């Protein structure tokens, strides 16, 4: 079932036809309403076939989603936090948006290797010799 598009950022917009929603019975509080009305939402999004995402974002998204992505590359987000169907629908869409934004973040800058400072080397060696002295004192006493 087609829904309205999901605006993730100014560069990424997920079309409505890429999202599939299924409404299921939810557990938890709600009295008789829980047994009668399907308020929980399962939002399906095919990561593999989405033209809106780059390959890097797709890879990151599958890694971040973990077990929520099937072998076919379909991401399922289940939302049953609220009692109303509409709020659960908004919650599922918002969680998908946050997941895509996290996957679209640029990679961290490459760390430039540096040498330890002279002071830190001296402190490390002083600490090592101090430890050595402590351990030497643990031996058997000599008969002086």
Compute CA distances 120 → 46, 85, 116, 133, whole Å: 51, 60, 6, 20
Neighbour count for residue 117 (Cβ, 10 Å): 9
Q: Give pLDDT tens digits for 110-119.
A: 999 999 999 9
Query: Which CATH code for domain 6-104?
Result: 3.30.160.20
Q: Give pLDDT tens digits for 80-124.
A: 888 888 899 899 999 999 999 999 899 899 999 999 999 999 999
Q: Tell me how far apart the alpha carbons of residues 22 and 34 are, in angstroms, rounded to a whole number.
A: 16
Q: Where are the domains of the chain?
A: 6-104
Asked if the model's pLDDT at residue 1 lies above 60, the reply is no
pLDDT score of 29: 65
Q: Give pLDDT tens digits for 8-60.
A: 888 888 888 888 888 888 776 666 666 677 888 889 998 888 888 889 988 99
């Amino acid at each position: 079932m087609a829904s309205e598009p999901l605006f993730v950022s100014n560069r990424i917009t997920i079309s409505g036809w890429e999202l599939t929603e299924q409404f299921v019975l939810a557990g938890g509080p709600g009295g008789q309403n829980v047994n009668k009305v399907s308020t929980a939402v399962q939002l399906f999004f095919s990561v593999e076939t989405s033209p809106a995402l780059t390959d890097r974002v797709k890879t990151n998204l599958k890694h971040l989603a973990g077990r929520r992505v099937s072998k076919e590359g379909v991401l399922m987000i289940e939302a049953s936090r609220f009692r109303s169907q509409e709020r659960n629908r908004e919650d599922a869409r918002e969680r998908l948006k946050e997941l895509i934004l996290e996957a679209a973040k640029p990679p961290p800058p490459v760390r430039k290797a540096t040498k330890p400072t002279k002071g830190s080397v001296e402190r490390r060696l002083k600490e090592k010799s101090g430890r050595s002295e402590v351990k030497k004192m643990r031996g058997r006493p000599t008969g002086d």
